[in-house]
């Protein structure tokens, strides 16, 4: 799952298509094993954090179920995103699968495939987290994250960077499958790097 293109933003669509296709052809059982192993590694790094902002995975994304369950067992306060009208993200408390609903997203007539918390705590709730786990299709050698192109998490990470000093800023982690690390991703000014990428095969940190 690599790409050596240095083209501008338009080439990201090609890279996304290749990565998504590779996820689809991978056996669900293999994806589940990789996901469980990566979540276990990430739980080890998170340690005894008080608040963690994460996400409820869907489709072929690395399954965050083991991560969310592990955080709840430790008594961690878990926040999950809620998509709002301008593609920004507010946050709500996750207390188990029963605390999530499937809303009809802005501009759509069908329920979203992504479950969301029932009650919103607002856009700024994420600032209380000491870790933020973000979805990603790949991460570049420099730590730049490739998302699905909506820009929601770029806004979140920009908000976090603008609100916290270096010492207080939460750590940003991406969960990936093997082969999705060190992908050449065209860089744009709005792109935000992660601090750590975790796969079933290991962990990569950036300063």
Query: What distance lies between CA 121 and its chain's CA centroid?
Result: 19
CA–CA distance, 103 with 49 (Å, rounded to integer): 29
> CA geometry: angle at 177 spanning 176 and 182, to 5°?
70
pTM of the model: 0.89
pLDDT for res 43: 97
Give CA–CA dist 156/149, Å, rounded: 14
Alpha carbon distance 199, 186 (integer Å): 22
Nearest to 61 by CA among 99, 93, 92, 20: 20
Q: What is the pLDDT of residue 151?
A: 83
Q: Looking at residue 135, what is its pLDDT?
A: 96
pLDDT in tens, the chain (207 residues): 444 444 445 688 899 999 999 999 999 999 999 999 999 999 999 998 999 999 999 999 999 999 999 999 999 999 999 998 888 999 999 999 999 998 887 677 888 888 899 999 999 999 999 999 999 999 999 999 999 878 899 899 988 988 766 667 899 999 999 999 999 988 888 788 899 999 999 899 997
């Amino acid at each position: 799952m690599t790409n050596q293109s240095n083209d501008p933003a338009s080439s990201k669509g090609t890279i996304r298509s290749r990565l998504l296709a590779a996820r689809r052809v991978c056996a669900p059982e293999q994806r589940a094993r990789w996901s469980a192993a990566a979540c276990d590694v990430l739980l080890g790094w998170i340690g005894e954090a008080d608040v963690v902002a994460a996400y409820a995975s869907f489709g072929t994304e690395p399954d965050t179920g083991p991560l969310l369950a592990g955080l709840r067992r430790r008594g961690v306060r878990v926040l999950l995103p809620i998509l709002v009208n301008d593609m920004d993200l507010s946050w709500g408390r996750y207390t188990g699968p029963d605390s999530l609903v499937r809303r009809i997203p802005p501009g759509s007539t069908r329920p979203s495939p992504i479950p969301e918390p029932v009650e919103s705590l607002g856009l700024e709730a994420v600032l209380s987290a000491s870790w933020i786990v973000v979805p990603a299709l790949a991460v570049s050698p420099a730590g730049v994250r490739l998302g699905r192109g909506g820009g929601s998490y770029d806004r979140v990470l920009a908000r976090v960077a603008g609100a916290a000093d270096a010492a207080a800023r939460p750590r940003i982690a991406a969960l990936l499958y093997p082969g999705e690390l060190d992908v050449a991703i065209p860089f744009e000014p709005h792109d935000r790097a992660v601090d750590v990428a975790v796969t079933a095969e290991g962990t990569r940190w950036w300063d």
